[in-house]
Amino acid sequence: MNDFQIPTEQQPPRRSWIFPALLLIAGVLIGVILTSDLGWLPTGHAVPESVPPPVATPVSTAVQPTLPGAGGQSFVDVAKVVKPAVVNIFATRNGSSEEGKGTPFEDPFFRRFFGEEWMKRFEAPKERKERGLGSGVIVDPNGLIITNNHVVSKADEIKVFLSDKREFKAKLVGTDAKTDVAVLKIEAGGLPTVAWADSDKLEVGEFVLAVGNPFGLTQTVTLGIVSALGRAAGIAEYEDFIQTDAAINPGNSGGALVNVRGELVGINTAIYSQSGGNMGIGFAVPSNMAHSIMEQLVQHGKVVRGWLGVSIQELTPELSSQFGVPKDVKGVLVSDIMDDSPAKKAGFERGDVIVEYDGKPMDSPAHLRNAVAQTVVGKKVTVKLIREKKPKSIELTIAEQPKNLAQAGVEEGGESVAPAGLLSDVEVRELNTELAGRYGLKSSDHGVVVVRVKPGSPAEEAGVREGDLVLEVNRKAVGTLKAYEHVAANLPKDQAVLLLLRRQGRAIYLTLRP
C-alpha cells in the first residue's frame, strides 16, 4: 500500500467589503463639501465681478509763476496780450516765365499741323506767382504794421490776416533794405497793439518770447533768453541785432520779440542755421532802431541818416598800445577823415580814438555807425575822444549822409623798392595808371601800392594784402615812393610797425609785429 495521499481541495478566502465602503463614504463626503460652498476652500469666478467706475475729479491749470519785473504777469498773461497784435502776412509777386520760348512748339508750322488746342498742352504758363509768408506786428490801433523788408520786397499784392481771421489788403508805406525794416498800413481801427520798449535797456540773460507764424503755423509762441546784444551777422548794412535762443523759423520774420512785460524789444529777422530750421541762434532788429526807421518812413517816405564823415575800425589791443590808449579803455579808431564832412570841419584827425558819442559810450565800429546814422540831421552832438594820449571833446553838427562818398588826390609815378626791417617782406610800387587799373584803384589816388607780400611773413599774418595802398608808416605820411623809402629804411627790426592802408576805398590801420 502506497502511503502517498492526495490532498483535499481548499476553500478560497472571503473578499473584504470594509475598505471599498470606506472609500465610497470618503468620496461622498468630499463631494458634499465641494458642492455646498461652505467657504472652507478659495473660490473663483469665470466672469469678473462688477467694479464701480472711478470718480473723475477736475484738475485745475497749474499755477503759473509770476515773472520778476513783469508786474505780476506770467508767460501765459504775456502771450494772451501779444498774440492778437501779431499778424500773418501773405505777399505775392507776379513774374513772367521764360520757359518754352524758342522751342519748336512755338513755330507756326507746328501749330497749323497739330492744331491750337493740342499745342496748348505743351505751352509753358505765361505768368507765374511767387508767394511768401511772414509775420508782422500791429503798433498802431489804426492799422500800422511793422515787418521785415525781405517779407514784402517787390510784392505786387500784400494781404494781412489778423488773429480773429479777418483779411485785409495792405498798402506798403515804405521799406528800408539797409536795416531790413518795412511798414504796412491796413484800413481798420481799434486794433490790438504791442507797446514799444527801450531796447537800449535790454540785458543779456533776460527772458523773451518770440511770437509769429513759422511755416504758416499762426500764433506760435516760443520762449528763450537774450543770448547777446550788438550782433552783426552780415544780413543788412546797418546791424545791431539782438541774438536769442527763442525758437525762430521760416515764417517768423517780421514777428514780435517781447520782454516779460509784453513790450516789443525787437522784430524777428533771421536765423543762423545749417539745416534751414531753428538751431538756437536767432536775430532781431532792436526796437529803438525799428521805431526810428518806421517814424521816418511814415513821415517822409524814406530814411534820412546822419553823417559824421570818418572811416573807423576796431580798436585792437595792438592798436591801443600804438596809440597810447589804456587797455581797459574801449573805443573806436578813426583811420581817415572825409573831405567836406562834419568831422573835417570840426577838426577830427587820423588816429583819434572815439570813446563817447552824444553821451553814450562807443565800443565798436558798428555801435558808432548805427548811433550816427540814427542821429537827427542838424543835431549838435558832443564827441569825446583820446588824441595823443590826452582826452578831448569836440562839438559838431551832424549832416545828412551823401549818396556817394569819394575822395580825390594827386597822381604820382615811380619805381619799385624793397625796404628793410619788417617791411622787407612787402614789395611796393608807386601808384600809376597801370597799377590803378590792375587793383581797382582810382588814378587820382596817390601813394605806394603793395604789389607782393611774402607768404608766412609778419606782414601777411597782420593782414597786408596785394593791392593795398600805403598811406602812412608809423604815423608818417608816405605819399611818394621816396617818402616811403625814407621812413622804411630807418625802421628797427625788433619793433612793431603801424601801417595806414586804403583798401576798397576805406582806410584801415594794421600793426606788424616781429
Residues acting as catalytic residues: 150, 180, 253
Locate 144 and state its grid cell: 500800422
User: What sign does the CA torsion over 365, 368, 371, 375 have?
Assistant: negative
Locate 47 and state its grid cell: 466672469
Task: Check: CB of residue 366 under 8 Å from CB of residue 178.
Answer: no
Instruction: Give strand ranges (E) for 156-301.
Output: 157-161, 167-169, 171-176, 181-185, 207-212, 220-231, 241-244, 256-258, 264-271, 282-286
DSSP 196: B
CA angle centred on 402, ends 396 and 408, rounded to 5°: 90
Q: What are phi and psi of 80, to 5 degrees?
A: -65, -35
Tell me how far the alpha carbon of residue 103 is from its chain's centroid: 44
Distances (CA, A) of 216 to 13, 148, 269, 462: 106, 16, 16, 48
Task: Check: CB of residue 332 under 8 Å from CB of residue 315.
Answer: yes
Q: What are phi and psi of 449, to 5 degrees?
A: -110, 140
User: What sign does the CA torsion over 86, 92, 93, 99 have?
Assistant: positive
Neighbouring CB atoms inside 10 A of 341's CB total 18
Neighbouring CB atoms inside 10 A of 64's CB total 11
Closest CA to 332 of 372, 304, 305, 292: 372
Phi-psi region of 440 (alpha: psi -120 to 50; beta: other; left: phi over 0): left
Task: Check: CB of residue 185 under 8 Å from CB of residue 170.
Answer: yes
Per the listing, cell 518812413 goes with 297
Distances (CA, A) of 231 to 145, 265, 487: 25, 15, 40
Class of residue 342 by CB neighbours under 10 A (exposed 0-12, middle 13-18, buried 19+)? buried
Per the listing, cell 584803384 goes with 441
The CB-side HSE value for 22 (13 A sphere, CA atoms) comes to: 4
Distances (CA, A) of 129 to 132, 134, 171: 10, 16, 19
Q: Which amino acid is at 228?
A: A
Strand 171-176 with 353-357, pairing: unpaired
